[in-house]
């Protein structure tokens, strides 16, 4: 598991002629294996489109997206995706949801069972293996969604504002848990958020995007030790840097 994600001069356009909309232009960024990178930006800057392209749901109009040496041409098991809504399959139990990926990829039953047990343990929901999604709280659902996305042992995890729909307390808990999971699994994470606090708390680097057209304004390396203290001066200083850049992105002069 040591593959970089490389976006080189990525463009995204909709329509043609007068209807033409440039959603993203000349986006380039390289994400190292094991790195935690967040993307923040005002709404409409195309951060979700960017993630959808990396996930393979959208194809880019120009430029290249590569995971290792492979160009991304569609969705695949090497990239786990966590959505804002939990997107769990409601007719499947927690266990069936988590085992879905390995199952469609033809794992043996023994390996699937072991993997599911390991992941249930990782997210602390071993007692809920046979529960249906409707029986879980919002935070528990999102934890299952993370476990499901990890089940295939993907090269990287793509997370599109995964905690935005949760209440503040649950969100804080899941942020800690995500960091713990990231440290334990060493997976690369590309994390979309609109929260400066969240980006500063979680990431190694924060890419700030601006809208019209969507592009990356700058990428900030946080260089903050972990675990992070949200009241320390270093943290507040880093948060301020992100916030100022985002302000520039939101009010282009």
Residue 11 bridge partners (DSSP): 62
Q: Least separation, in Å, of the C-beta of 159 and another protein?
A: 12
Nearer to another protein, 58 or 217 (CB): 58
Buried b (16+ CB within 10 A) or exposed e, 15-39: eeeeeeebbbbebebebeebbbbbb
Give the span between the Cα atoms of 216 and 237, in whole angstroms.
21
Q: At closest approach, how far in Å is the CB of 66 from another protein?
A: 18
55 binds another protein (CB under 8 A): yes
Residues 140-199 that bind another protein (CB under 8 A): 148-149, 151-152
Q: Closest Cα to residue 239, out of 251, 252, 248, 230?
A: 230
CB of 100 to another protein, least distance (A): 6
Which residues 113-132 are close enough to bind another protein by CB under 8 A? Answer: 132
User: Minimal distance in Å, beta carbon 142 to another protein?
Assistant: 13
Question: What track of x and - describes contact with another protein for positions 67 through 86 (by CB under 8 A)?
Answer: -------xxxx-xxx-x-x-
Burial of 14 (0-12, 13-18, 19+ CB in 10 A): exposed
- How far apart CA 187 and CA 99 sit, in angstroms, is 19
Q: Which residues bind another protein (CB under 8 A)?
A: 55-57, 74-77, 79-81, 83, 85, 87, 89-92, 100-101, 104-105, 132-134, 148-149, 151-152
């Amino acid at each position: 598991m040591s593959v970089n994600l490389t976006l080189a001069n990525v463009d995204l356009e909709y329509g043609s002629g007068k209807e033409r909309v440039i959603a993203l232009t000349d986006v380039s960024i390289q994400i190292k294996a094991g790195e935690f990178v967040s993307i923040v930006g005002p709404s409409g800057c195309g951060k979700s489109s960017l993630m959808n392209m990396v996930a393979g749901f959208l194809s880019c109009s120009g430029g290249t997206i590569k995971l290792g040496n492979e160009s991304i041409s569609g969705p695949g098991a090497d990239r786990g995706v966590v959505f804002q809504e939990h997107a769990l399959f409601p007719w499947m139990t927690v266990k069936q949801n988590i085992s879905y990926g390995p199952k469609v990829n033809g794992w043996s039953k023994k390996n699937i069972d072991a993997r599911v047990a390991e992941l249930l343990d990782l997210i602390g929901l071993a007692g809920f293996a046979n529960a249906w999604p409707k029986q879980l709280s919002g935070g528990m659902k999102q934890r299952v969604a993370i476990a499901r996305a990890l089940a295939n042992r993907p090269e990287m995890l793509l997370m599109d504002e995964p905690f935005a729909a949760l209440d503040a307390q649950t969100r804080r808990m899941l942020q800690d848990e995500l960091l713990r999971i990231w440290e334990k699994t060493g997976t690369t994470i590309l994390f979309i958020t609109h929260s400066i606090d969240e980006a500063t708390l979680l990431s190694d680097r924060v890419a700030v995007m601006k809208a019209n057209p969507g592009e990356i304004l700058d990428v900030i390396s946080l260089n903050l030790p972990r675990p992070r203290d949200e009241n320390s001066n270093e943290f507040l200083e880093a948060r301020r840097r992100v916030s100022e850049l985002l302000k520039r992105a939101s009010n282009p002069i």
